[in-house]
């Protein structure tokens, strides 16, 4: 494939805590240093239903975090609605959960993040000129404590160099498909990304609550990129628009936003050991599922997901109400790991983002 000449660059990004935004800025800075006309756009700040066609010949960049081994729905829907190509090249980047063990940098997993997006864009007529993952620190505080500041700084320094080198190659007109190195492990975790998209992300969104330290400053509500946090019963309430980007939890000045691990554990136990098992058994008796099951297994898996979703909708509203009751409220508070000081919040290093 012959190198192409970049006349202008248009980068679209989505970011919760800042990782993808910094990658977009690093790439954009490399283009600006070359005198290339560059525009960097946060997709949550524009009308995502009516996207203007990119100018002919403009290089397009799409950068987003990885959520559940895929691009988050807000970025996927944006790509689905993206106008057809006018002879444009496009590069794809994702940030994913990088770690550091002693002196070794450990990469995260991308799953379908780059592959599904690349297929959609190819069908729209775009030429894929780059696919690259950047292993910035994980920010999923619901699952693990934030990374220590010194580790964040070293990971950021490394990823900034990698992004700049990648940008130089892309801007030189080269095709860089680094993602192919990870295709085996990406395919292996792809079933998880499907389950997360349809069910898992809703469960995660329904684990957030504000504890007794919340002073109703509304910072989480005003700064939510998806406008997903509402006020219900004079308390923050996370709706199903939530992308679990962790901006609220990581930026709350009072550390008042938590994940209720006790609530989630209890609900999932009931779902898997009680309610759904009983419904599964009852349905089998009513419609006489064949012993070999066949496609019935698929059908009831879908039904199970739907019942899980409905249960989470109902139970979260009950949970939100129960937070009014002192004894119950304390139980939820003290069964949340995010409450304790050792469970650090995540913030990108101020020294390395510039």
Convert the pLDDT of each residue in 202-258 to its tens digit.
777 778 899 889 999 999 999 999 999 999 888 899 988 888 899 999 999 999 999
Q: Based on the domain organization, do 261 and 142 belong to the same domain? A: no
pLDDT of res. 177: 95
Question: Between residues 315 and 158, which one has the greater pLDDT?
Answer: 158
User: What does the pLDDT look like over 22-41, one tens digit per residue?
Assistant: 999 999 999 999 999 999 99
pTM of the model: 0.87
Between 42-46, 153-157, 248-252, 298-302, the lowest mean confidence (pLDDT) is in 298-302
Same-domain status, 183 and 242: no
> Contact at 8 Å (CB) between 24 and 13?
yes
Same domain, 97 and 143: yes
Are residues 172 and 53 part of one domain?
yes
Residue-number span of the structural domain to which 249 is assigned = 202-339
DSSP 226: T
Looking up residue 214, the CATH number of its domain turns out to be: 3.30.70.20
242 is a domain residue: yes
Which DSSP helix (H) or strand (E) runs through 328?
helix 326-334
Q: What is the reported pLDDT for 300?
A: 67
CA 200, 202, 207, 213 dihedral sign is: positive
Examine the domain organization and report whether 173 and 26 are in the same domain.
Answer: yes
The string of DSSP letters for 230-299 reads EEETTEEEE-TT-----HHHHH-TT--EEE-HHHHHHHHHHIIIIIHHHHHHHHHHHHT--TT-THHHHH
Q: What percent of the chain has pLDDT over 70?
A: 87
Q: Does residue 183 lie within any of the structural domains?
A: yes
Same-domain status, 143 and 20? yes
Domain count for the chain: 2
In terms of domains, do 252 and 155 share one? no
Q: Which of 190, 216, 236 is the last residue of a domain?
A: 190
Q: Which of 190, 224, 244 is the last residue of a domain?
A: 190
Task: Tell me whether residue 144 is in a domain.
Answer: yes
> Does 119 have pLDDT greater than 90?
yes
- Residue 297 within a domain: yes
* pLDDT for position 11: 98
By DSSP bridging, strand 235-238 and strand 229-232 are antiparallel
State whether 235 and 130 are in the same domain.
no
Average pLDDT of every residue of the chain: 86
Euclidean distance between CA atoms 211 and 115, whole angstroms: 39
Indicate whether 92 and 14 sit together in one domain.
yes
Question: Does 195 reside within a domain?
Answer: no
Q: Do residues 291 and 335 both lie within one domain?
A: yes
- How confident is the model over 140-172, as pLDDT tens digits? 888 888 888 888 999 999 999 999 999 999 999
Same domain, 75 and 183: yes
Write down which residue in 170, 190, 210 finishes a domain.
190
- For residue 306, what pLDDT band results from cuts at 50, 70 and 90? confident
Query: Considering the domain boundaries, does residue 347 fall inside one?
Result: no
Q: 182 Cβ partners below 8 Å, 6+ apart? A: 107, 109, 110, 133
Domain assignment of residue 258, yes or no: yes
Instruction: Pick the closest to residue 338 from 233, 223, 257, 264 (CA basis).
Output: 257
Please tell me the distance from the alpha carbon of residue 175 to that of residue 177, in angstroms, as a whole number.
Answer: 6
Let me know whether 175 and 222 are in one domain.
Answer: no
Q: Is residue 169 in some structural domain?
A: yes
Dist CA 294 CA 186 (whole Å): 28
């Amino acid at each position: 494939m012959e190198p192409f000449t970049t006349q202008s660059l248009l980068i679209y990004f989505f970011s919760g805590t800042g990782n993808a935004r910094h990658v977009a800025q690093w790439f954009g800075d490399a283009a600006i240093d070359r005198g290339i006309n560059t525009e960097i756009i946060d997709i949550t700040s524009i009308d995502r239903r009516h996207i203007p066609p990119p100018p002919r010949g403009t290089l397009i960049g799409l950068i987003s975090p990885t959520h559940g081994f895929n691009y988050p729905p807000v970025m996927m829907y944006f790509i689905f609605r993206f106008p057809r190509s006018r002879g444009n090249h496009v590069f794809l980047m994702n940030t994913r959960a990088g770690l550091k063990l002693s002196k070794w940098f450990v990469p995260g997993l991308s799953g379908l993040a780059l592959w599904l997006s690349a297929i959609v864009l190819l069908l729209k007529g775009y030429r894929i000129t780059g696919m690259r993952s950047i292993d910035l620190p994980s920010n999923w505080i619901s699952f693990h404590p934030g990374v220590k500041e010194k580790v964040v700084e070293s990971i950021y320094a490394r990823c900034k160099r990698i992004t700049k080198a990648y940008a130089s190659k892309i801007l030189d007109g080269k095709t860089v498909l680094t993602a192919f190195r990870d295709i085996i492990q990406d395919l292996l975790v792809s079933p998880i990304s499907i389950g997360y998209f349809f069910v898992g992300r809703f469960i995660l969104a329904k684990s957030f609550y504000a504890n007794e330290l919340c002073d109703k400053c509304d910072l989480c509500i005003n700064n939510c990129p998806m406008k997903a946090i509402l006020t219900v019963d004079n308390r923050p309430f996370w709706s199903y628009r939530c992308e679990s980007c962790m901006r609220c939890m990581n930026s709350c000045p009072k550390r008042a936003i938590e994940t209720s691990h006790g609530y989630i554990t209890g609900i999932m136990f009931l779902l898997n050991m009680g309610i759904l098992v009983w419904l599964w058994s009852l349905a089998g008796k009513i419609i006489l599922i064949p012993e070999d099951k066949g496609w019935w297994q698929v059908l009831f898996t879908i039904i199970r997901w739907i019942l899980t979703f409905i249960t989470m909708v109902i139970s979260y509203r009950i949970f939100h109400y129960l937070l009014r009751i002192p004894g119950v409220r304390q139980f939820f508070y003290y069964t949340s790991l995010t409450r304790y000081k050792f469970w650090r919040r995540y913030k990108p290093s101020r020294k390395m983002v510039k």
